[in-house]
Amino acid sequence: MHRNLKIKLFLFFFLLFATILFAILFPRLTLPFGFSYIVYLMSKPLTSLLMTGSKKQRFFFSTLLILGVSLSLLPLFAAFYNIDTDFSEFSRQLPEVQKNLQDKYFVFKVYIFEKFGYRLNIDPVTFMVKKLEKGGTLLLSQIPNYLSSFFEWMLLVPMFLYFLFFQSGKFGYKLVAAIPNSIFEKTYVLFSQFNTKFGEYIIAKFIEATILGTSVTIGLWAIGFPYPFVLGFIAGLTNILPYIGPVLGFIPALLIALLTHDPKTSMLAMCLIYLIANLIDMILVFPLLVSKVVDLNPIIVVVSVIVGGQVGGVVGMIVIIPFIAFFKLLFQEIYKDLSVQL
Amino acid sequence: MSYEKELMDKVQKGEILPDKLDIPILKYLWDASPLGFGAKENIRSFFKKISILNSFSDNEIRLFTKFLHRREFIADEVIFRQGDSGYGFYFIYDGSVNIYANHLNNNIEERGDLIIRLDRRQYFGEMGLLEDFNRRSATAIANENTVLLGIFKPDLEKMLEFYPVLGAKFLRETALIMANRMGQLTREVMSLKKKIKELESRV
């Protein structure tokens, strides 16, 4: 290979490595950029819908979009209002929950003593409550930091969004132009495929989470279970995490059912609602939306989610799946090339 | 005095400019002028002279060029190798390209016979754009310092999504190229068969 071409190749990989290092070292910039990028990818199908077709079609879709957004905002406001009410009610009931928990633990202690003659000297309820209080105090002391991050995001996210919507085309073209000739075709195609896969995955997960959250909320509200909006919101949010998510989303409802003595509460009905909502998700929503994008073995998905959580927390757990799908694609390409060379 | 210079003078003198001034559109109209005032050939006028894009209007060519990537190759630089995965279709904007059919000699790939030399305004690699798992059937090497304009699979997908009419038109032209090449190939196979028969009859 010509010397200049080697230098070009080295510079390209050096720049790539430096960019990744920069992203890891400066999460305060990377995270808002990542968030903006997700918003940008999520809005892509809409922009494509609004940019193609005849003038009449564009007008029709624009009107539909405005109407849809306006109508969906109303229940959203209602939901947020209810979430706030649910949270306040939950904090108000916390002492009662603590008392219930202590009563139940006392019964358990007595049972253990009568059955095995062993006296339990630990007090996990007080320990948990103290931990909760400590956590709350820590959270309060961290509020100024969260606020400053919030204002930082308020400034950075619109800026990044503006860049992504209006400048990314030209910038991306220049970036692509810097790829050396020897690896251009493959890199460009793989990068485009990753971009498409990532966008599709985020949209699919968002829709899936919304459907699941809504069905749980409606179900819990219908049987009169407490905090339906909070629990629906949690179920939707945790559903973003594959396989582990549904279990995590179910825990708060289970705890509430165990700890409250609400006569309206029906444990069986609540379990059935979660089961039905997750079955709808598994049988209908997931195969139609997500599995088309991510064609991975379930064991690989679970292991990836655990590794992603270890490396990058909740964000890592979410974004690891499209990355793994991309690496699968990359290895398939390399394998195909190697088999041709053999 | 050019229109742009006139405007710059107005800016320098502090004179009022017209309310709506769309320089890119003016530039486009200037370039698209059939009288050909611009002596220097740009990408749009380059494509106007390519036979397969004859049916494209000026505006369609302008849109089409948005999806192209300019790639510069030095003399003897490999554009793609035989057996590589193919994803793109190239137009030769400047320079020339040699196409070789490689062969294996003791498991070592050697540059084989020169099949064809392609010059300015010619194109190659269209199969890479259309086939799903395309493998390049020959090696392409820049004969001199060469500038190529390439369009790749993701660009075609984007074109079909945002400009479906243009995308369909381009696909039709690409299919025509392939049909022509198939016809050529069939004729060559027939002529080879005829030659083999002649040789067999002689033996």
pLDDT at A221: 87
CB half-sphere exposure, A198, CA atoms < 13 A:
20
Look at strands B146-152 and B88-94 and give their pairing.
Answer: antiparallel
Which candidate, A269, A288, A265, places its Cα nearest to that of A277? A269
pLDDT tens across B8-33, in order? Answer: 787 788 777 666 556 666 666 666 66
**Lowest-confidence range among A248-252, A308-312, B57-61, B154-158?**
A308-312
Average pLDDT over residues B45-51: 81
Q: Which residues share a beta bridge with A310?
A: none
Inspect the interface and report whether the beta carbons of A188 and B133 lie closer than 8 Å: no
Angle, helix A55-116 to helix A27-51, in steps of 10 degrees: 130
Inspect the interface and report whether the beta carbons of A333 and B85 lie closer than 8 Å: yes
Are A239 and A281 within 8 A, CB to CB? yes
Interface test with B, best of A57, A179, A185, A200 (most B CBs within 10 A): A185
Q: Give the number of other CB atoms < 10 A from CB of residue B16.
A: 6
Query: Residue B147 pLDDT > 90, yes or no?
Result: yes
Low-confidence ranges of chain A (pLDDT < 70): 1, 47-58, 60-62, 65, 68-91, 93-94, 132-133, 136, 139-140, 143, 259-265, 291-292, 339-342
| Chain B contact set for A57 (CB, 8 A) | none
Rounded distance, CA A23 to CA A43, Å? 24
Query: Residue B180 pLDDT > 80, yes or no?
Result: yes
Rounded distance, CA A76 to CA A336, Å? 48
A340 in contact with B at a CB cutoff of 8 Å? yes
Rounded distance, CA B60 to CA B56, Å? 6
* Closest by Cβ to B152, choosing from A2, A188, A340: A188
Distance from chain centroid for Cα A132: 25
- Residue A152 identity (one-letter amino acid): E
Inspect the interface and report whether the beta carbons of B87 and A186 lie closer than 8 Å: yes
What backbone torsions phi and psi does residue A119 show, to the nearest 5 degrees?
-95, 120
pLDDT at B39: 45
B179 in contact with A at a CB cutoff of 8 Å? no
Distance between A20 CA and the closest CA of chain B, angstroms: 24
Which candidate, A147, A142, A197, A159, places its Cα nearest to that of A323? A197
- Per-residue burial over A242-277, b if 16 or more Cβ lie within 10 Å, else e, is beebbeebbebbeebbebbeeeebeeebbeebbeeb
**Which two three-digit tokens encode residue B28?**
């486009």
What backbone torsions phi and psi does residue A242 show, to the nearest 5 degrees?
-70, 145
Inspect the interface and report whether the beta carbons of A185 and B85 lie closer than 8 Å: yes
Rounded distance, CA B101 to CA A144, Å? 68
B74 in contact with A at a CB cutoff of 8 Å? yes
Structural domains in chain B?
A: 41-202 (2.60.120.10)
| Chain A contact set for B162 (CB, 8 A) | 48, 51-52
Q: Which residues share a beta bridge with B40?
A: none
**Mean pLDDT score of chain B:** 82
In chain B, which residue ranges form alpha helices assigned H by DSSP? Answer: 3-13, 23-32, 43-48, 58-65, 126-130, 153-162, 164-202
pLDDT tens across B86-141, in order? Answer: 899 999 999 999 998 876 665 556 667 788 899 988 899 888 888 877 788 888 99
Which candidate, A284, A289, A191, A192, places its Cα nearest to that of A240? A289
Contacts of A34 (CB under 8 A, 6+ apart): A315, A319
Q: If you write DSSP's letter for every residue of A187-218 in order, what string do you get? A: HHHHHHHHHHHHHHHHHHHHHHHHHHHHHHHH
A54 vs B60, more confident: B60
Rounded distance, CA A29 to CA A152, Å? 9
Helix (H, G, I), strand (E, B) or coil at B74: coil
Are B86 and A185 within 8 A, CB to CB? yes
**Which two three-digit tokens encode residue A79?**
């939901």
Q: What Rg value do the Cα atoms of chain B yield, rounded?
A: 22
Helix (H, G, I), strand (E, B) or coil at B5: helix
Are B130 and B86 within 8 A, CB to CB? no
| Chain A contact set for B133 (CB, 8 A) | 336
